[in-house]
Copies of this chain bind each other. A is one copy, B any other.
Amino acid sequence: MTDYRRLRVALLGAGAVGSQVASLLRQHADELADRAGARLELVGIAVRDVDAPREVDLPRELLTTDAESLIVGADIVIELMGGIEPARTYLLQAINSGADVVTANKALLATHGPEIFDAADQVGAEVYYEAAAAGAIPIIRPLRDSLAGDRVQRIMGIVNGTTNYILDRMDTEGAEFADVLADAQRLGYAEADPTADVEGYDAAQKAAILASLAFHTTVPLDAVHREGITSIDKQMMDAARHAGYVIKLLAVCERLNAPRPSRSGEAAYRDEISVRVYPALVDRAHPLASVHGANNAVFVQAEAAGNLMFYGAGAGGVQTASAVLGDVVSAARRHIAGGVGVGESTLANLPIVPIGRVTTRYQITLEVDDQPGVLATVAGTLSDGRVSIANVEQTVAGEDARTARLVIGTHKALEQDLSETVDRLAASGVVERVVSVLRVEGD
């Protein structure tokens, strides 16, 4: 066996992910040494309660509640505690004491990313976070390195397993949101408090991380437009299926302007971007439509590379541990090589436009009076609002023959125009109710 140099690895957290990381670090020690060119010596594991029952067997003597002492003298610190504090303080402490750090903490990176990356830059440390963007799916290196010579135009990601599981079951079983959610909670696919998932907060954090990588710019979390899936009901699902769509919660990161000619002087490529999370209609023929269950996928459109998709498990303790360990090996290689490391390249400060300036197609479902002239009134209002109709379907609504249902597919329209127009329709005499307005993504 090769006689490798030893690197001291400190682990903060031994929960769903951390316990698996600890277990794999010990189980695959020889292979990891060959991969990293160094022996990864787990010097300790910080937890809140050393006596708490653990999913996996961890040597009692490695556990400690004293994270700060563990960090001192570590070459690599792995943060898997979650939350903002004390995770933030520990990460900064690790960086300032000369360690490279690995984290899966999307909440922390989406809110304090610049502070942490700046601190690392100052001392020449590196921050690895493959597991923070899409769990086990390798997406950081492809975006940061493989596509570094290309221009990403758009990312559409299914980045939250819980909501994809719920929407997929609603779609395939024709079930209602509340029923599937309850079942998902029972089966462990959704948390007791499902807010972070079903309201899109988790997806918004990942969208901020993905957009900052794809467009090499800073993306504050509060610039991400966010809508959850709690308003999606069986009727909307059925209508979507009928029209050849499926409803997915998408994280969309988009470059808005066509590239300007590059010789026109400084910063010719400082386009604008949009980052948004919402349930959207996706054509059933689109590769994202066949992402089932709790799986995740990130669809990337790049100028030269064309369409790429990355698919896999977006969460799960052992799956996420795989991504964390890949980062640990990279950190170790860098430590051995002694270089300045891959670094993030120069960051721009691209303007992030509000949702009103986004352009997509829409599907509008209205309940209208079933009378002659109604369609003409609706069509007129849309056209006055600069929303152009691609197709209309009219069905008579169930028992109540007095009203009919109009499903209107639009061409691309500005969100601002669309929403003002829908308000005007709602206020008009002929529309009884705006049943739903959904964006169509994927073209």
* Chain A residues near B (Cβ < 8 Å): 1-2, 20, 24, 27-32, 34-37, 130, 136-138, 140-142, 145-151, 216, 262, 266-269, 287, 290, 302-313, 316, 318-319, 321-330, 333-334, 336-343, 345-346, 348
B345 touches A341 (CB 8 A): no
Do residues B147 and A269 form an inter-chain contact, with CB atoms below 8 A? no
Given the complex of chains A and B, what is the CA–CA distance between A216 and B37 in angstroms?
13
A120 to chain B, nearest CB (A): 14
Q: B329 and A304: CB pair below 8 A?
A: no
In the complex, given contacts A35-B216, A141-B141, A337-B343, what are 15 additional A-B residue pairs having Cβ atoms less than 8 angstroms apart? Answer: A1-B266, A24-B149, A27-B262, A28-B151, A34-B346, A34-B348, A37-B346, A147-B326, A149-B329, A150-B325, A287-B311, A302-B322, A307-B312, A311-B311, A338-B339
Interface of A is mostly: mixed
Report yes or no: A146 in contact with B326, Cβ–Cβ below 8 A: yes
Closest 4 CB pairs of A and B: A339-B339, A149-B325, A138-B146, A305-B322
Known: A148-B325, A329-B149, A339-B338. A308 touches B137 (CB 8 A): yes
Partner of A333, one of B27, B302, B338, B343: B343
Known interface pairs A149-B325, A309-B309, A334-B339; A304-B24 also in contact (CB < 8 Å): yes
A338 to B337: give the CA distance in the assembly, Å: 9
Alpha-carbon gap, A31 to B151, bound state (A): 9
Which listed residue, B29, B305, B326, B336, touches A150 by the CB 8 Å rule?
A: B326
28 examples of A-B residue contacts, CB within 8 angstroms: A1-B267, A24-B149, A28-B149, A29-B262, A30-B262, A30-B269, A34-B348, A130-B146, A136-B304, A136-B305, A136-B306, A138-B142, A138-B145, A140-B146, A141-B141, A149-B329, A304-B325, A305-B319, A306-B316, A306-B319, A308-B312, A308-B313, A310-B310, A310-B311, A333-B342, A337-B339, A338-B339, A338-B340
A304 to B312, CA, bound (A): 12
Q: How far is the CB of A209 from chain B (nearest CB, A)?
A: 15
A355 to B145, CA, bound (A): 36
Residue of B nearest to A340 (CB): B337
Given contacts A340-B337, A340-B339, A341-B337, contact A148 B326 (CB under 8 A): yes
Q: In the complex, what residues of B have CB within 8 A of residue A142's CB?
A: 138, 141-142
Set of chain B residues within 8 Å of A27, measured between Cβ atoms = 262
In the bound complex, do residue B326 and residue A32 qualify as a contact, i.e. CB atoms below 8 Å apart? no
Could you tell me the distance between the alpha carbons of A36 and B148 in the complex, rounded to whole angstroms? 8
A311: chain B residues within 8 A (beta carbon): 287, 308-311
On whether the beta carbons of B345 and A318 are closer than 8 Å, the reply is no
Give the Cβ gap from A236 to chain B, nearest Cβ, in Å: 25
> A318 to B307, alpha carbons, bound, how many Å?
12
Residues of B within 8 A of A34 (CB): 216, 345-346, 348
Partner of A305, one of B262, B308, B312: B312
Do the beta carbons of A323 and B340 come within 8 Å of each other? no
A137 to chain B, nearest CB (A): 6
Beta-carbon nearest neighbor of A321 in chain B: B304
Q: Which residue of B lies closest to A131 (CB)?
A: B146
Docked complex Cα distance between A29 and B216 (Å): 16
- Choice from B31, B145, B268, B269 contacting A326 with Cβ under 8 Å: B145
- Docked CA distance A318–B151 (Å): 12
Across-interface contacts of A149 in B (CB, < 8 A): 24, 28, 32, 35, 322, 324-329
Task: Please tell me if the beta carbons of B343 and A37 are within 8 angstroms of each other in the complex.
Answer: yes
Complex: how many Å from CA A394 to CA B149? 56
Q: Is the CB of A35 within 8 A of B345?
A: yes
Distance of A318 from chain B, by nearest CB (Å): 5
Chain B residues whose C-beta falls within 8 Å of the C-beta of A348 in the assembled complex:
34
Given A136-B306, A312-B309, verify A322-B145 contact (CB < 8 Å).
no
Which residue in chain B gives the minimum CB-CB distance to A21? B149
Q: Which residues of B contact A140 (CB under 8 A)?
A: 146
B residues less than 8 Å from A316 (CB atoms): 306
How many angstroms from the CA of A410 to the CA of B29 in the assembled complex?
A: 39
